[in-house]
Amino acid sequence: MYTLPSLEITRTYKAIAVLTSGGDAPGMNPAIRGVVRAALGQGIRVFGINRGYSGLIAGDMEEMNSASVSNIVQRGGTILKSDRCEGFKRPEVRAQAAEILRNHSIDALVVIGGDGSLTGAHLLFEETGIDVIGLPGTIDNDIFGTDDTIGFDTAVNTALDAIDKIRDTATSHERHFLVEVMGRNSGFIAINVGMAAGAELIVVPERAVEVSQISQELAESRQAGTGSSGIIVVAEGPEPGLTYRLAERLREHNQDPRVCILGHIQRGGSPTGHDRVLATCMGAMAVRYLCAGYSDIMVGVRDGRILDVPLHDVISFRKGLDPTLLDLALQVHR
Ligand code: F6P
């Protein structure tokens, strides 16, 4: 449960819009539902924009009502669809987007997405004056200013479920498995999944690790009789296929691991209860913040409190893995 700020309503809007952008994340649907129902509750019209910023610049939107978001809270993906829009990186395209919004009498936009999407939202506000509120929607949990992002908990549990199954066959065959999880440049999914799965090793981009060191640890644990099989959780890192390269190198060191890349399965599935509550609170709070006169902020959560974080900060700073947590995670699994 979250503590919500009490906000005074100081303004209202005739119409607002909501879109989902970037990699989809389980929980985007409850977030959309939160935005729509909270807006309607304040007498504000809401437009759902399809396919993220691409749909916005194509004017692909429709008005939503309460029934538009019925029976979606449990569904993975996003009913509004999503996209990574290269064009939105150009100011003239953002100006065009603002014009389209104004032509529909829409003065505010709620953007649910990751860092690239939130950067677009900030620039839209700065350059055109359209009010924006961002919601952190990404499985990666790599957004500065918030402890948690919509979809992270579901992705961790999805990966965990898969790893528990992989462990069965790893144990039967006395093998090591390299399991690659998503997270691009950040190890949040890897560290959480690794800890929860009791992984023998966790490899994250935040901490360099030598292949010879991994190999030696595997060999030592085999010799000690504590590690005839095991799971090594590997964060995907900036370049795809890291896990295959790692396996190749381990073979040169007389290891014979198997590789499993969990991939986009981590982005699908019904959101967990945790993600549904987080997304619903954030979606509804986006509307409350707008009506309290806020703009150019992201709704975040810190120490159980829902709060506003300037989008400028969100996109300027990098959220780091807590080094103490990293040390602890690596230590307890050796
Ligand atoms: O949404 C974040 C993310 O899932 C990353 O973890 C991953 O690297 C990337 O998206 C994959 O993106 P795409 O769907 O474009 O392959």
Q: Using the mean position of ligand 1's atoms as its centre, give its distance from the Cα of residue 15 in Å.
A: 32
Q: Using the mean position of ligand 1's atoms as its centre, give its distance from the Cα of residue 105 in Å.
A: 33
Q: Is residue 140 part of a domain?
A: yes
Domain that holds residue 304: 15-151+271-316
The number of domains in the chain is 2
Catalytic residue among 131, 140, 142, 275: 140
In testing the pocket of ligand 1, which one of 82, 181, 182, 261 has its CB within 8 Å of the most ligand atoms? Answer: 182
Q: Using the mean position of ligand 1's atoms as its centre, give its distance from the Cα of residue 300 in Å.
A: 21
Residue 333: what pLDDT?
Answer: 61
CB-count exposure of residue 10 (10 Å: 0-12, 13-18, 19+): exposed
- If asked whether residues 77 and 114 sit together in one domain, one would say yes
**DSSP secondary structure string for all residues of 34-90:** HHHHHHHHTT-EEEEETTHHHHHHTT-EEEE-GGGGTT-TT-SS-TT-----GGGGS
- Token look-up 């303004």 returns 11
Contact assessment for residue 190 and residue 178, using Cβ atoms and an 8 Å cutoff: no
CB neighbours of 304 closer than 8 A, spacing ≥ 6? 1, 2, 3
- If asked whether residues 136 and 183 sit together in one domain, one would say no
Ligand 1 atom 13: the closest Cα is on which residue? 23
- If asked whether residues 124 and 252 sit together in one domain, one would say no
- If asked whether residues 239 and 292 sit together in one domain, one would say no
Q: Can you tell me the distance from the alpha carbon of 5 to that of 58, in angstroms, rounded to the nearest whole number?
A: 36
- Token look-up 């959101």 returns 271
Q: Is residue 291 part of a domain?
A: yes
- If asked whether residues 143 and 163 sit together in one domain, one would say no
Residue 122: what pLDDT?
Answer: 98
CATH code of residue 116: 3.40.50.450
Q: Is residue 334 part of a domain?
A: no
- If asked whether residues 233 and 301 sit together in one domain, one would say no
Q: Using the mean position of ligand 1's atoms as its centre, give its distance from the Cα of residue 177 in Å.
A: 22
Cα atoms in the Cβ-side hemisphere of radius 13 Å centred on 129? 2
DSSP type of residue 318: P
Ligand 1 site residues, Cβ closer than 6 angstroms: 22-23, 114, 138-140, 182-184, 236, 267
- If asked whether residues 37 and 131 sit together in one domain, one would say yes
- If asked whether residues 284 and 295 sit together in one domain, one would say yes
Ligand 1 atom 10: the closest Cα is on which residue? 23
- Token look-up 């073979």 returns 251
Q: Which tokens is 261 given?
A: 């890349």
The model carries a pTM of 0.96
In testing the pocket of ligand 1, which one of 83, 112, 140 has its CB within 8 Å of the most ligand atoms? Answer: 140
Q: Minimal CA–CA distance to 229: which of 167, 285, 275, 180?
A: 167
Residue 225: what pLDDT?
Answer: 65
182 CA: nearest ligand 1 atom = 6
Q: Which of 267, 294, 326 is the last residue of a domain?
A: 267
189 CA: nearest ligand 1 atom = 6
Residue 49: what pLDDT?
Answer: 98
Residue 234: what pLDDT?
Answer: 94
- If asked whether residues 282 and 138 sit together in one domain, one would say yes
Cα atoms in the Cβ-side hemisphere of radius 13 Å centred on 94? 20
In testing the pocket of ligand 1, which one of 118, 139, 184, 261 has its CB within 8 Å of the most ligand atoms? Answer: 184
- If asked whether residues 96 and 165 sit together in one domain, one would say no
Q: Using the mean position of ligand 1's atoms as its centre, give its distance from the Cα of residue 25 in Å.
A: 10
Residue 199: what pLDDT?
Answer: 93
- Told to judge if 140 belongs to the known catalytic residues of this protein, a careful annotator would answer yes
CATH code of residue 250: 3.40.50.460
Q: Is residue 184 part of a domain?
A: yes
- If asked whether residues 185 and 130 sit together in one domain, one would say no
Query: Residues of 145-175 as b/e, b for ≥16 C-beta within 10 angstroms?
Result: bbebbbbbbbbbbbbbebbeebbeebeeeeb
- If asked whether residues 165 and 260 sit together in one domain, one would say yes
114 CA: nearest ligand 1 atom = 1
pLDDT of the chain along its 334 residues, tens only?
899 999 999 999 999 999 999 999 999 999 999 999 999 999 999 999 999 999 999 999 999 999 999 999 999 999 999 999 999 999 999 999 999 999 999 999 999 999 999 999 999 999 999 999 999 999 999 999 999 999 999 999 999 999 999 999 999 999 999 999 999 889 999 999 999 999 989 999 988 888 777 777 777 776 666 667 899 999 998 877 789 988 998 898 888 999 999 999 999 999 999 999 999 999 999 999 999 999 999 999 999 999 999 999 999 999 999 889 888 887 766 5
Other residues' Cβ atoms within 10 Å of the Cβ of residue 269? 17
Q: Which tokens is 152 given?
A: 């992270």
Q: Is residue 321 part of a domain?
A: no
Query: Helix, strand or coil for residue 204?
Result: coil
Sheet holding 45-49, edge to edge: 61-64, 45-49, 15-20, 108-113, 131-136, 297-302, 305-310
Q: Is residue 333 part of a domain?
A: no
Q: Is residue 6 part of a domain?
A: no
